[in-house]
Amino acid sequence: MLALLLAWHVGHGVPLAAQSLSESNGEIWWDVDLRYRATPRWTVAAEVSARGWNQVRISPGFEYAANRWLDLLGLVPLIAVTGPQGLVSSEIRFSPGVRLTWRAKPWLTLRNRDVVEFRRVHLQASDVTELSTRVRVRAEARIAIAPTTFAARSLLYGIADVEGFLTLGQQLSNQHILDRTRVRGGLGYRFNRWWTVEGLYLLETRWVTREDIQITTWNHILQMRLVHFIR
């Protein structure tokens, strides 16, 4: 599905512009994901992230394991962006979603994560609040490397995924529906049932059109994640 959306975007989703510009940036993201398994089906989570030098986010939420292949998700990310003069913008999101999991082999797990984000962004300088809705679709593969089974207590594994962001409704001020993609790849190591670390390279591509100028931004990101199950 995501591949079809990308193909459609290249052929039809990018409006003709008088000229185009491109830019490239580099960032480091630090994520700490705390999880508490309240029952065999319910998990409460809170992720704290520092993204670049000017963005902090706290994402409380929950997961409900409906069965072996379906998880229901609920997230409420709170995001603050700062600048030299202080707070630039603040954002709150309500993000319901689902995650599908297919354990194709003992060494291979495939996932599909679909989330709808209802966003409320307040711009500090202009005192304007913007509302928008978007859908995020992500396909992911995890491969057990050593040992070659996810049933092991400790293991090294590989991660690869691709994600598309689709803006809906009347919020298409930049004239794009699919206005952002992310491609990630990296490694993770699970020490035991409580502690996991991951290191990933993430390529984020964004498209926006302003005053008939199409701007393409390539963000090269090193993402470091720590996951801790409190219970």
Per-residue pLDDT of the chain (231 residues; tens, 9 = 90+): 554 444 444 444 444 445 888 999 999 999 999 999 999 999 999 999 999 889 999 999 999 999 999 999 999 999 999 998 899 999 999 999 999 999 999 999 999 999 999 999 999 989 999 898 999 999 999 999 999 999 999 999 999 999 999 988 655 455 566 789 999 999 999 999 999 999 999 999 998 877 778 889 999 999 999 999 998
pLDDT of residue 116: 97
Q: Which amino acid is residue 79, in one-letter code?
A: I
Can you read off the two tokens belonging to residue 122?
């307040």
Rg of the chain in Å (alpha carbons)? 19
pLDDT of residue 10: 43
Q: Secondary structure of 41-59 in the HEC alphabet?
A: CEEEEEEEEEECCCEEEEE
Q: How many whole angstroms separate alpha carbon 209 and alpha carbon 211?
A: 7
* Residue-range domain boundaries for the chain: 2-13+37-229
Going by C-alpha positions, the residue among 137, 132, 140 that lies closest to residue 158 is 140
Task: For domain 2-13+37-229, say whether CATH 2.40.160.40 is its number.
Answer: yes
